[in-house]
Amino acid sequence: MLYYLFQFLDERYNLPGAGVFQYISFRALGAVITSLLIAAIFGRKIIDTLRNLQIGESIRDLGLEGQMQKRGTPTMGGFIILASLLIPALLFAKLSNVYIVLALVSTIWTGLIGFLDDYIKVFKKNKEGLEGRFKVVGQIGLGMIVGLTLYFNDYVKIRKYAPRLLSTSNVPDVYVDIKSTLTTVPFLKNNEFDYSSLLFGLLPDSYTWIVYVVICIFIITAVSNGANITDGIDGLAAGTSTIIALTVGVLAYLSGNKVFSQYLNIMYIPNSGELVIFCAAFVGACVGFLWYNSYPAQVFMGDTGSLMLGGVIAVLFLAIRKELLIPIVCGIFLVENISVIMQVSYFKYTKKKYGEGRRILLMSPLHHHFQKKGYHEAKIVTRFWIVGIILAVLALATLKLR
């Protein structure tokens, strides 16, 4: 909104300094500062409101050290993240940008799914929360919206430049904007892959949209659930998401910048640089939430926050066509997901074969395994953050390591 206001003031009244809102870097800085301020100023009020409404976490006794001391800690703290993310994004981003619209829709959509889950747990006293099938239906719905938009929307294109014939700046660039289902494959020199090739020539290319939508659904569901599972100890999900959002912000800036994308020989996606503002607000919201959520937590984000974080991260990667980097950048989410799948699958297999279920880990997800081994949760979180930083650096290194 401020972008359009200052654009009007600049064009109509030539207001000194108003033109600075044209720069992504300035608006990103404004977004992250505003996000931090909202979390700092209103976070305490939101926590007090949740406590007054007796919206406390119902803790199941899993035999973890210090676990029962957290009983009654306010949950649904995801509202702090939602407010700190949505307000700066609405203020500083171009609201006509299709990628920003997708990010905002994804935030609200997944936030509502998480809220319904928390609402059922807290107010209906049902510890299971929203049934898994309804969560999946919601995630499938978002996957369809995102996939169909990215495939059919006329403003979603990639730009291909023709090589310069003369080494002079006076020669204009020759380029063409094309609709495509190309994505980026890390570590390969010719690192573009077209999803239409998954049809294997058995169907016309016009059916590619079906394949693409299915892939979007799978990615959004997997990453959203991965973030949800990771949210098990103080500061883990919020801190990990901060590292991931910073990485996505860098990738979005490079992908949306003509000079850097050509220099790095990566896919140039016009207008995707606007996502830097959203990523900046995302980082500010997570860091601001960590002020209250770091050990010992004064509030839990609940599914209102965790489902939203994962879903939005997945959409951001899809928007900048870097979704194949998700296993690297979101490695913490991936490992946490796999640890649960392995634990449950092995338990069922051994119970069927031997008559009693056996476990691979002391407890799943993985962070609980380390808790069972006697590690303090603050140490577990810090080490997971360090691993997340290493994975982020590795992901950025793929821009040159091919």
Task: Write out the binding residues for Mg(2+).
Answer: 228, 303
Which of 113, 110, 21, 37 is CA-nearest to residue 313?
A: 110
Binding residue numbers: 228, 303
Handedness of CA 207, 212, 213, 214 (dihedral sign): positive
Question: Do 344 and 299 meet the contact criterion of CB atoms below 8 Å apart?
Answer: no
Which residues of 189-252 form beta strands (DSSP E)?
A: 192-194
Instruction: Please give the C-alpha separations between residue 167 and each of 264, 271, 336, in angstroms, as whole numbers.
Output: 18, 27, 51
Distance CA 380, CA 387 (A): 11
Query: For residue 199, what are its two tokens?
Result: 């049809």
Which residue type, as a one-letter code, is found at position 393? V
Distance, CA of 249 to CA of 25 (rounded, Å): 11
| Nearest CA among 143, 296, 325, 144 for reference residue 221 | 143
Question: What one-character DSSP code corresponds to residue 358?
Answer: -
For the chain, give the number of residues.
402
Q: Do 246 and 284 contact (CB within 8 A), yes or no?
A: no
| CA–CA distance, 325 with 311 (Å, rounded to integer) | 15
**Strand 182-184 relative to strand 175-178: parallel, antiparallel, unpaired?**
unpaired
User: Contact 254/361 with Cβ under 8 angstroms?
Assistant: no
Residue 275: how many other CB atoms lie within 10 Å = 31
Question: How far apart (Å, rounded) are the C-alpha atoms in residues 32 and 43?
Answer: 15
